[in-house]
């Protein structure tokens, strides 16, 4: 036992502290009271303002490694879209996001009692995102003659009248990378599509300039964004559940940084003396 303990270092104590800070609040199941930010309210209002039956193109542009952060965000936005009776066209420009996107879309659709082909469709993966985004601007039916499962899309009611971005009320890129910038470059700039984005927190600072310029009309990011969206929707989800764990973990990290610096400073001072 003493041999095992001797292999632990200060690094391991830090990991243990963060693990406990993230785990205990989840077990306590306490929900923090919080308010929605202006960005989240704007995203929510944009979706809320769409008339029933409007078409929303949702692109699942993320990798499996980011799914834990993306899931509560995607769930909340999809619930809102289905609640508004919007027609959803799902696709993916990232290979890894393809199956996860389909699973997420189907799960929420089933939860909301929606029918495949009528209320939503999943078109699957397209490589070379530049070509894919441009191709949708020319002709979506031509680019996607079949869906993810190989069924012909021509007769599907959900795609009735949809030719290109002109018939799509908004594009939502759900992503863990810089994909919204490509949607801005090609779909927004060239075809005047209306774009909103759902992001991991890491990417938020890089994309805020596009929100300020109006090229992206709405942005929600990270677990806090998910919690805020759930608050506006008045539906419980992964965002609200994880908010306390995240706050406690952040406080723990701040405390560790302060303690680490104090200990380091005292150690150096002892050496000087």
Partner 1 sequence: MAIATLAAAIVTVGIFSFLYRDNPFYRACEHLLIGLSVGFSLVLLWNSVLIPKLLQPLFVEGRLPAMIPFVLSLLMLLRLKSSLSYMSKPVLALVIGSGAGVSIPAMFEARVLRQIAASVEPFGVVGDGSVSALMLLGMLISLVGVVTVIVYFFYTRPDTKAFNGASQIGIYFLMVFFGATYGYTVTSRLTLLIGRIEFLLGDFLHLL
Residue 96 Cβ vs partner 1, minimum distance, rounded to whole Å = 6
Closest of 90, 79, 84, 78 to residue 117, by C-alpha: 90
**Dihedral (Cα; 241, 63, 110, 242), 10-degree rounding:** 0
User: Among residues 50 and 204, whose Cβ is nearest to partner 1?
Assistant: 204
- As given in the structure block, the two tokens for residue 98 are 């393809």
Task: In angstroms, give the least distance from the CB of 57 to partner 1.
Answer: 18
Closer residue to partner 1, CB minimum distance, 68 or 258:
68
Report how far residue 206's alpha carbon sits from residue 189's, in angstroms, rounded to the nearest whole number: 18
Handedness of CA 248, 253, 255, 256 (dihedral sign): positive
Q: Return the number of the residue (7 or 273) whose C-beta is nearest partner 1.
A: 7
Q: Cα(23)–Cα(43) distance, rounded to whole angstroms? A: 31
The tokens for 254 are: 């701040």
Of residues 119 and 240, the one with the C-beta less far from partner 1: 240
CB 94, min distance to partner 1, A: 9
Residue pair 216/210 in contact by the 8 Å Cβ criterion: yes
Q: Which of 60, 59, 115 is nearest to 82 (CA)?
A: 115
Angle at 34 between CA 231 and CA 218, to 5 degrees: 55
**Which one, 257 or 266, has the nearer CB to partner 1?**
257
Give the binding site for partner 1 (CB under 8 A).
Answer: 7, 12, 15, 18-19, 22-23, 26-27, 29, 64-69, 71, 95-96, 98-99, 124-127, 130, 134, 146, 148, 181, 184-186, 188-190, 200-206, 209, 212-215, 221-224, 238, 241-242, 245-246, 249-250, 253
Vertex 125 angle, CA 86 and 216, to 5°:
55
Smallest separation, CB 54 to partner 1 (Å): 25
Least separation in angstroms between residue 67's CB and partner 1 is: 8
To partner 1, the closest distance from the beta carbon of 161 in angstroms equals 24
Question: What are phi and psi for residue 154, nearest 5 degrees?
Answer: -55, -40
Q: Judged by CB, which is closer to partner 1: 97, or 162?
A: 97
């Amino acid at each position: 036992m003493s041999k095992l303990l001797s292999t632990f270092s200060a690094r391991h104590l830090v990991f243990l502290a963060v693990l406990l800070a993230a785990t205990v609040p989840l077990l306590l199941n306490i929900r923090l009271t919080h308010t929605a930010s202006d960005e989240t309210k704007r995203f929510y209002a944009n979706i809320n303002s769409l008339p029933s039956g409007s078409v929303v193109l949702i692109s699942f542009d993320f990798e499996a490694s980011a799914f834990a952060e993306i899931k509560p965000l995607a769930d909340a936005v999809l619930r809102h879209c289905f609640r508004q009776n919007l027609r959803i066209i799902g696709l993916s420009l990232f290979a890894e996001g393809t199956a996860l996107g389909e699973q997420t879309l189907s799960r929420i659709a089933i939860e909301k009692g929606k029918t495949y082909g009528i209320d939503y469709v999943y078109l699957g993966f397209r490589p070379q995102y530049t070509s894919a985004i441009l191709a949708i601007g020319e002709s979506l039916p031509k680019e996607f003659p079949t869906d993810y499962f190989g069924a012909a899309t021509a007769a599907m009611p959900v795609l009735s009248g949809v030719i290109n971005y002109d018939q799509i009320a908004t594009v939502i890129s759900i992503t863990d990378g810089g994909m919204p910038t490509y949607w801005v470059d090609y779909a927004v700039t060239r075809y005047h599509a209306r774009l909103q984005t759902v992001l991991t927190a890491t990417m938020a600072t890089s994309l805020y300039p596009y929100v300020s310029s109006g090229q992206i009309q709405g942005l929600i990011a990270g677990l806090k964004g998910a919690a805020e969206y759930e608050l506006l929707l008045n539906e419980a989800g992964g965002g609200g559940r994880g908010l306390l764990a995240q706050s406690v973990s952040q406080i723990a990290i701040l405390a560790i940084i302060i303690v680490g610096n104090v200990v380091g400073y005292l150690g150096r001072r002892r050496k000087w003396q």
